[in-house]
Structure 1
């Protein structure tokens, strides 16, 4: 339908949308007097705002769509966006000083200086500019580059035409205009987040050895354990659940999708919600990561998709054999190759510029650590180089754009195959025709199990089986990664090697490997770098599979069933352990357990509380907080001690089980939890929401949900502050939630929720409105079709425009 005809549905007549002289009559009687008409020429777009400040952006081409998106994101999130642009320019130390910690949104850098040295090196080397010039599909398409150009112009227009009221950056000199290169660099930072971004401190600190030898690394076993902790999605601040049901399980034969990504509630990895429309070309609704120009997770009229953080290891190491006469020269098949020097200078607030040299090899940068627990010493004979295939991947936006234009799960798969741009996530999708789809389509180093067997160093022989992190012998050409014929770039797996499952009653992922995507059809045959097979699943995966398998068996599912699943708040760990703990507790002589340090604690009241607890983490659940504090401590006990019945790969959802209350750590955990709550003045049977809350607009909002170890679908990772009354903020957890299905109309049936709300600005009416909905387990009804947008009681139409 032509754009003019679409807007007539809003009551807009005689509109010449994209001319300088265009004016916008009232969209509806209730919308009169709520329009803005920035003057000027150049790029422009229309933004229709509906409830909760959700913008519906209409533009005639991709540049102008990017303009509207950049404008609207800046209106809601200017401070966080500006902070991120400062990061990718390598200028944090200039404004905030070198020693302050970053928020870890765009890398793992521990300090501003480390972050700046890395990103200024990326900028100085022209890395992103070169990738922008690579022809599609190996590089970004013209359409995506146009959205980047438009986004920068829209962001710049907003900051030029508006006064910033957010106290986080009001009158800040570091809020400045940006370029399309800045927008692309932010996307690049997200792509390398799991690779070079994870090794930032080690890359920027790496220097050739001096006369003083560096500290020795740990044993291979210690390194394997450290690598496992480092790479575990379960320990990160990002995770997710997603499930797609096919038509055999639903009331009308059409697909259903429930997406529940678990992302940080603060900082630059927040989602932001919108609808993007280019009439006749694109019409999609969903959420974008801040700074992204396309929809990251969403739906259109025919297909819905979500992502979960995958287990594939997006990097590998090459152990270098050095020339004994020069530690900046390494040997490959006996022939010397000199490392490349990158000298990087960073401006520092109140001090002289800091200049450091980074060292690069044919495999990537030299690094001296992967996190504090995994040192990689550069000695006179050995160094380590980090290979990150996503360092040549600027295709994530095109992959998402392909999803946005898809007409079914086949098109989702085609976009994954053509663009190969997803760095660290799985993709789960469902469509109107009743198909379900799962793919672990990641950009991963092409580490086959055979290559790892032939080429692993002693360190790699420990880390690869334990974590999927390969450490290869960099002195041998026959240990190169090679290529797949269907791969868009050398050194990565092609689509034909990736775990895929289609058209099953359900496909589900909760950040474990692809193995149990459907428990009745386990996926096998993939390389270890993708994840494990026939190994214990997380408590959240076990609970999720129980739930979705039961839903699929029940059948006749509707969107309302997805909504119930999101807020069921069932605690699988409680169902496995609470009764056993209550019985054991009740039998204790004198009701006393021994806590840490040998302190006796009267736990007799806890026995009754745990017995009566409803095994859920609703905000009104009594006993949930006690079990939560207990289980966080008890789950640190090794599984072999914690459970009587060990893991059985033939029964992976129900094992391990049968709590071993005789394990010393179990009693100690209960004693410590009881003592902790009493010291904080918190009743053992207090309702969860009284002590798990966030404060918005001066009011406490009780928050349900629970932590990873409890196995809760509606994951909440709160911040414990005993002196403040319990959990007083949420660091990460359920973020942009969508429950999507279809009926016989052309409009999808969609319910959404952005848990932390649309705007970061505390002065905005949309800084906490959806958070209040989340606290009350209520949803937003998606306004996707024009007739629904027109009926919004809060409809406000804004024409945004460059001034020239």
Structure 2
């Protein structure tokens, strides 16, 4: 049977196979002959293969969206329905005001009531509707509108066929808040995802900002600029450590064994809630054939590959918002000074329905305030910004962004990495992500081209306040913490200027944003754009992150893994990447922190007199820890590793939220050797011994043996089955990141490896790809695909991708659903 490739006609034989399968499994007319070869089946068709992965084929965008909407609802209707509840500001109406909401990157960061007030303001202001009225690129392109129209039809069809009372997921079975959706619901959800990089830091402050009384300025305590800046920095750093992240590695022709290019996508996304990813393949014969994963509810692929390009995203170090410090009138604090004249803030009454404890429904109204720059906020990342002598207003670079939908539709159809760059530049829709890609031609791309505030270095230095100088400039910042700007709002010239080369007002010229194309490799692990490849450091405006600064241990691990494999110095056979060794290296779970510091930690332990350490008023005998750590020679966080959990606890106490270069190293950071420095932990430093003592004490108090295997501690429970989870936290420099925490009273993974995909291109033939959705396709505990891939993830196994029509038809578990 001939291969079907994107851009080619669908072979009649392949259509015939599909038609026969459809006839057996569903009643109705078949797609046959030349017409089907041009346009695909006359009805949207979902082919399910192993692990419930849907391969959706249709003759047009609307049909493709219909198939996607039906299949997504079938797997995750409760998660989606609650998301639509959130963006329509109805969480408090149905679930109560005190419940916890997750409007941003993090889990349960605010109350249902605060979330509702936030989204109701957006809805009252018709933000999304106004964007929908704009022509492309600022409004959705025709293909996007058609796909979303179809998505709504597919979602609603599944709900109508099933009935709310017959939903098998107990999370929403029979719930009054599960209802048919509209296209506006879907666009509101898309917009909520695009602005989530700002929501976590500023939502609570925006909905709780209240002007002071006339005498407040005389009594309110004032923090120094340095105190405020340090508190905000530390709070953002803490949030960043427990937030979404990713690794992505693109390998070009010089780094691949028997191929032209390879791609490793390893996003670290939430395992629960609206930011779960979901896998699918989307095909319109002759127009698009793309496979990968997307955030739930988007009829496109966000991370994946087509016939010629594979790509992924990583969370970038651009702050998608900026603050403006506006001086207020002490006798009228809702008036503020601009260019020597007083202006009045605007007030807005925002009301939402609230479910009372007695079951009745009440109404809560708040007054929200805004300036010419944007909404007033009373805090950022939980750190108070008192509204006294001045107030702080927020400008969000993504509030007017629906362009991201166009971005992903174009990425799904990209032909090479140059096409990827063109898409990023002409849409400027990526909200807070880097893009890493490889292509069939042998190119590896890193690009940090996204919706970025138009803050040049010159503009920043002219307009930053004292607090802003400390937050924005590198001297106070921590690696991975975005440079937040606080500008002087008294001068209108300090607003973000419009650039004629940018797609929308207030955006940075995309041509000033960093990118790198090489034939060996380029990658990112959430550090700034400075070092996608150590051979070619990049420069860029400071608003996009730091330069010549220490890299995280995970970045070091990614770059070393790439270079050592290409050089053949990692102990594996041969040189260059293959599908097998790329999968093996990711799931090696090697800790860069252990490589750098384990030997010194053992030495510190062995050199402790009588093994006794006094910490925090406790006398701790650490001698038992010495042989445990010494025996952990692999440095790996595999499920059977012993000593790894002890080292993880030690490292947490040692680092204690500090930047990596602040630890007691004998060799400090060197910008000329950023992948290998700092190094050589000082075994004689008291903080090393004391941190180990605290770790030993913590494990003993928890009843955990110092040599307990990782599998006995780090696992998830699915329908009563405990599934061991390998990997570790970001700070340990492990590529396969998993972040455990207590969720709904039980241990689960809140962030970590989610959809993982590895792709190899050759000069001809279809891409060879393997994937894994770590938490499986469905959040429904009654679904057969609730934990099946989680078990694979636990065992370090991957799913061999079915991409071509022949591969799909050959699936031994093939099921076909034709939507009439």
Decide: shared fold, TM above 0.5: yes
- Aligned match of 1:757 in 773, 776, 792? 776
Between the aligned partners of 1:737 and 1:217, the Cα distance in structure 2 is: 48
User: SS of the residue aligned with 1:243?
Assistant: strand
1:31 counterpart residue number: none
Between the aligned partners of 2:277 and 2:534, the Cα distance in structure 1 is: 31
- Aligned match of 1:408 in 416, 441, 447? 416
Residues 1:252 and 1:145: Cα distance change in structure 2 (over 3 Å): same
Q: Write the deviation string for residues 314-356 of structure 1: whole angstroms up to 9, x where unpaired.
A: 1101111224443222222123332222211100002520011
Residues 1:765 and 1:21: Cα distance change in structure 2 (over 3 Å): closer
1:486 counterpart = 2:481: no
Shift of 1:444: 1.3
1:136 counterpart residue number: 136
Shift of 1:665: 2.9
1:599 counterpart residue number: 618
Residues 1:720 and 1:664: Cα distance change in structure 2 (over 3 Å): farther
Residues 1:306 and 1:641: Cα distance change in structure 2 (over 3 Å): closer
2:397 counterpart residue number: 389
1:352 counterpart residue number: 362
Between the aligned partners of 2:591 and 2:46, the Cα distance in structure 1 is: 42
Residues 1:106 and 1:521: Cα distance change in structure 2 (over 3 Å): closer
1:39 counterpart residue number: none
Alignment of 1:532-543 (within 5 A): 532-543=546-557
2:35 counterpart residue number: none
* Alpha carbons 2:118, 2:207 under 8 Å: kept: yes
* Alpha carbons 2:604, 2:683 under 8 Å: kept: yes
Unaligned runs of 5+ in 2: 1-7, 33-41, 569-574
Between the aligned partners of 2:44 and 2:545, the Cα distance in structure 1 is: 44
Unaligned runs of 5+ in 1: 26-42
Between the aligned partners of 2:626 and 2:16, the Cα distance in structure 1 is: 62
Between the aligned partners of 2:453 and 2:78, the Cα distance in structure 1 is: 35
2:571 counterpart residue number: none
Alignment of 1:502-521 (within 5 A): 502-521=517-536
Alignment of 1:142-541 (within 5 A): 142-162=142-162, 163-196=166-199, 198-211=201-214, 213=216, 215-216=220-221, 218-232=223-237, 234-350=240-356, 351-372=361-382, 374-379=383-388, 381-465=389-473, 466=477, 467-524=482-539, 526-541=540-555
1:52 counterpart residue number: 51
Q: Write the deviation string for residues 591-625 of structure 1: whole angstroms up to 9, x where unpaired.
A: 11223x22111111110111110211111111111
2:799 counterpart residue number: 780
Between the aligned partners of 1:14 and 1:784, the Cα distance in structure 2 is: 17
Shift of 1:717: 0.8
Between the aligned partners of 1:561 and 1:640, the Cα distance in structure 2 is: 34
User: SS of the residue aligned with 1:652?
Assistant: coil
Q: Write the deviation string for residues 472-529 of structure 1: whole angstroms up to 9, x where unpaired.
A: 11111221321222210111112111010012411010000011110111112x1111
Provide the aligned C-alpha RMSD in A: 2.3
Does 107-116 or 346-355 show the bigger shift?
Answer: 107-116
1:667 counterpart residue number: 689
Does 789-798 or 745-754 show the bigger shift?
Answer: 745-754
| TM-score, length basis structure 1 | 0.93
Does 65-74 or 741-750 show the bigger shift?
Answer: 741-750
User: SS of the residue aligned with 2:783?
Assistant: coil
1:86 counterpart residue number: 85
Residues 1:685 and 1:592: Cα distance change in structure 2 (over 3 Å): same
* Alpha carbons 1:206, 1:358 under 8 Å: kept: yes
1:624 counterpart = 2:644: yes
* Alpha carbons 1:426, 1:442 under 8 Å: kept: yes
- Aligned match of 1:705 in 727, 735, 743? 727
Q: Write the deviation string for residues 55-89 of structure 1: whole angstroms up to 9, x where unpaired.
A: 01111211221111111111111111011100000
Shift of 1:578: 1.2
Between the aligned partners of 1:196 and 1:289, the Cα distance in structure 2 is: 17
1:36 counterpart residue number: none
1:657 counterpart = 2:665: no
Between the aligned partners of 1:13 and 1:760, the Cα distance in structure 2 is: 32
| TM-score, length basis structure 2 | 0.91
Between the aligned partners of 2:292 and 2:402, the Cα distance in structure 1 is: 21
User: SS of the residue aligned with 1:422?
Assistant: coil
Residues 1:422 and 1:231: Cα distance change in structure 2 (over 3 Å): farther
Residues 1:15 and 1:774: Cα distance change in structure 2 (over 3 Å): closer
Residues 1:24 and 1:406: Cα distance change in structure 2 (over 3 Å): closer
Between the aligned partners of 1:72 and 1:106, the Cα distance in structure 2 is: 25
- Aligned match of 2:717 in 695, 698, 704? 695
- Aligned match of 2:755 in 728, 736, 759? 736
User: SS of the residue aligned with 1:291?
Assistant: coil
* Alpha carbons 1:753, 1:780 under 8 Å: kept: yes
Residues 1:641 and 1:712: Cα distance change in structure 2 (over 3 Å): closer
Between the aligned partners of 1:6 and 1:138, the Cα distance in structure 2 is: 42
1:568 counterpart = 2:588: yes
Shift of 1:105: 4.7
1:5 counterpart = 2:8: no
Between the aligned partners of 1:138 and 1:197, the Cα distance in structure 2 is: 25
Shift of 1:145: 1.6
